[in-house]
Structure 1
């Protein structure tokens, strides 16, 4: 039997309350609107500042982890004492600068000179968090350098090593052009392929590196390349 229309109750949709995380800033606003005294508000302001610093540090750590997963070993392009090959600062910057920028990171240097020359590498994230490392050394008076050249040589050396230390960079031993199949790690082309594929399928690069037990994609053993490609393609199929 059909009930008369006047006997039917209109059922209103019931909304589901979504819990919004209470941030320190929200607490400050509530305290101010309720007329809380200044001491209470100051406590909330201190809490907010600590919370922002913690969030910035987390963003910094995530950015460093993501960047390191993409930075390949730097090719040794110069010769030093005893013909020992090394990667000069220009070679390092050419590789790392665009990757750091992609992850919201940048670096700068502070210098000071007393009995020794000191260089501080400051690595910063766009969130506001920064970390630094300092190296010191005497002026490099080797060869026929004058006083200014000796200082410049040490500054360049310390800038290069402080940046390397800050980022935990690795220099490639592949100086003779051997193929990836003959070496220990994948080639730069393969690094770029994996990074592009990871971005395409939305893979977490840090989780990817943890799965293969490497610090970065560039440290992936050459023999694991095909398995890595298969793993990323599998993620595409799972989406």
Structure 2
């Protein structure tokens, strides 16, 4: 039922940018066919078109991510780290469990996650790439030592580190929640932290686009994506972004006035 409500709204939101994009392309096409057209002007039009496409793709990414967050499952922790006496010290979700449960949800919302292992002298680097069908992607990475615990051979040690890197980067990009399947004396299961709704995430994303690059970077370091903001701090974050967007708009107006 929620899909019937959300999907048409998303299409209405992107209708205007799509029409504007078509209009810009028409202008570029006419300019390119004019022998007297200034090449610098044509390049600026192309750059404007690329910026508009990137902005539209980012907006669609944020909206789809917010909707997907509401359907992302909580994954049980079947893996265990044991001490020298064989007692389980902590638990974790196995990558095969994570992958199996997130793939259908990602596919439904137009996402795909891939991994790369760039050469890194400091250890094994695992890079996670979350891509959306609209064209936007987000990347995060982690550098790990070779997992030489237990009786692993060299290949197994590398594979173990890569598997951990996949779990870690996927968890950051998708805000995956895991929980212990039972309490075996090692402490209570992990608590699920409620996140903002898709409508709230869209509201935050819209305000964030109006903020300065410095404010955007600070937001990303603290919260990641708008959909990852905790529900308990929504009002506080909303107020801060509203103030930041207003300050940036005023700064832009002053700059424009000085230029004139």
Quickly name the TM-score band, shorter chain normalised.
Answer: 0.5 to 0.7
Deviation at 1:62, TM superposition (A): 1.3
In structure 2, C-alpha distance between the alignment counterparts of 1:81 and 1:158, rounded to whole Å: 20
Aligned twin of 1:136:
143
* Counterpart position of 2:111: 105
Contact 1:66-1:206 within 8 A present in 2 as well:
yes
Partner Cα distance (1:207, 1:60) in 2: 14
> Could you tell me which residue of structure 2 aligns to residue 24 of structure 1?
24
In structure 2, distance between residues paired with 1:93 and 1:128: 22
Distance 1:29 1:132, change over 3 A: same
Q: What's the offset of the Cα at 1:81?
A: 2.8
Distance 2:94 2:105 in 1: 18
Hey, what does 2:60 align to over in structure 1? Answer: 59
Determine the structure 2 residue equivalent to 1:166: 173
Q: Which runs of 5+ in 1 are unaligned?
A: 1-18, 177-183, 186-204, 220-239
1:91-137 alpha-carbon deviations (Å, 9 max, x no partner): 11111111111111001111034231110001111111111101111
**Which runs of structure 2 are paired with 1:42-191 in the superposition (5 Å)?**
42-82=43-83, 83=88, 84-111=90-117, 112-173=119-180, 175=182
* Inter-CA distance 127–21: structure 2 relative to 1 (3 Å threshold): closer
- Per residue, is there more helix in 1 or in 2? 2
Structure 2, unmatched stretches of 5+, are 1-15, 184-190, 203-226, 232-260
Instruction: Confirm or deny that 1:207 pairs with 2:177.
Output: no
- What do you get for the CA RMSD once the two structures are aligned? 2.8
Q: Does the C-alpha gap of structure 1 residues 106 and 174 become closer, same or farther in structure 2, counting only changes over 3 Å?
A: same
Bigger shift: residues 123-132 or 77-86 = 77-86
User: Which structure: larger Rg?
Assistant: 1
CA–CA separation in structure 1 for the residues paired with 2:124 and 2:151: 19
Aligned length: 170
User: Contact 2:78–2:181 at 8 Å: present in 1 too?
Assistant: no
